[in-house]
Amino acid sequence: MNDSYNRQIQYLRVSVTDRCNFRCVYCMPTQGVKHLSHNEILSYEEFLRIIKILSKHGVNKIRLTGGEPLVRKGIVQFIRDITALQSITDLSMTTNGSLLAAMAEQLKAAGLTRVNISLDTINPKRFRQITRRGELAQTLQGIEAALAVGLTPVKLNIVLTNMITEQDIAYFVDFVHHKPVSIRFIEYMPIGESQTTPGPSIEEIKTMINGFGRGILTPTLDIFGNGPAKYYDLPQAKGTFGFITPISDHFCGVCNRIRLTADGKFKPCLLSNQEIDVKTALRNGASDDEITKLFYHTIAKKPQSHTLTNTDEPTEFFRRMSQIGG
Ligand code: SAM
Ligand code: SF4
């Protein structure tokens, strides 16, 4: 299914919960956000019905996100149920990794293909400052478990805040040298009540990486699919680096995704307040055709590009990142 700008929409990101065991400074306010009640949140059966319908209209790639997807009970069975749909060929998850060590094996067995794990620093004190609750050791164990069970390619997401240091970059260079992971630096997006200061620019990070004597970054292809990251190799490294630039060089022209929030709204664009209510239709007995129409309507509403960098008319966002899923 193509949108008005000829982008083929194949990818649905599903936020299975707005809850999270972390409170990352760039994602949530200190006190957290008011949680959705049990009745407000879509049941797994409701999510599955939507996924089934969309899979008949070109969606073949699903990413589970949150809040933190691993805090929602029943996630393993949900993954099994999605896996049973033959038309879904790629089922991935974005997680903070804190619960992954204990769950990686079951997730893999249920059919999860791969994981992206957030890891903003390798300093335990700064990790705690950024996440406000997290333990670095648990996330590192989660990364090792993902590699061990083959939830690959493992991608690590690093949001560029002012808390990242040269010590972190040195560690990441070493990590990429020894491990088959992709380390992706993401420009901080100032949405919701996030409380952080943007960190070094992508160019500054590249200069730091090139300065560690492990060779110079050279452009390469994505190790899986064609997402928004631009990838680079380092000589003799087992992994790669990726750079995601929603602010300095947006990739809206190749955006192939829509989002489904935990409270049952389709979102045509991460960085827009537009939402299409699918939950009400679902609970009022809508037919598959009616749900399909809402999906088509969402695609028709996809803007050509976001307006986050438009300083004349700054957007006031209704949702925090944890309520959309990134
Ligand atoms: N809890 C999971 C996690 O942290 O990976 C999944 C949900 S989280 C909202 C998804 C992704 O969004 C994470 O990689 C996180 O780092 C990123 N993210 C959150 N707030 C952001 C912001 N303001 N700018 C850029 N990325 C952000
Ligand atoms: Fe939770 Fe992920 Fe947001 Fe951090 S980025 S608060 S782990 S949802």
Kindly state if the Cβ of 199 falls inside 6 Å of ligand 1: no
Taking the CA of 134 as reference, the closest ligand is: 2
Nearest CA residue ID for atom 12, ligand 1: 326
Per-residue pLDDT of the chain (326 residues; tens, 9 = 90+): 888 888 899 999 999 999 999 999 999 988 888 899 999 999 999 999 999 999 999 999 999 999 999 999 999 999 999 999 999 999 999 999 999 999 999 999 999 999 999 999 999 999 999 999 999 999 999 999 999 999 999 999 999 999 999 999 999 999 999 999 999 999 999 886 666 888 999 999 999 999 999 999 999 986 655 678 999 999 999 999 999 998 888 888 889 999 999 999 999 998 888 999 999 999 999 999 999 999 999 999 998 888 776 666 667 788 888 999 98
Ligand 1 center–CA 311 separation, angstroms? 23
Question: How many CB atoms within 10 Å of residue 195?
Answer: 12
Kindly state if the Cβ of 317 falls inside 6 Å of ligand 1: no
- All structural domains of the chain, each given as residue ranges with its CATH number in brackets, are 11-324 (3.20.20.70)
Q: pTM (2 decimals)? A: 0.95
Confidence (pLDDT) at 39: 95
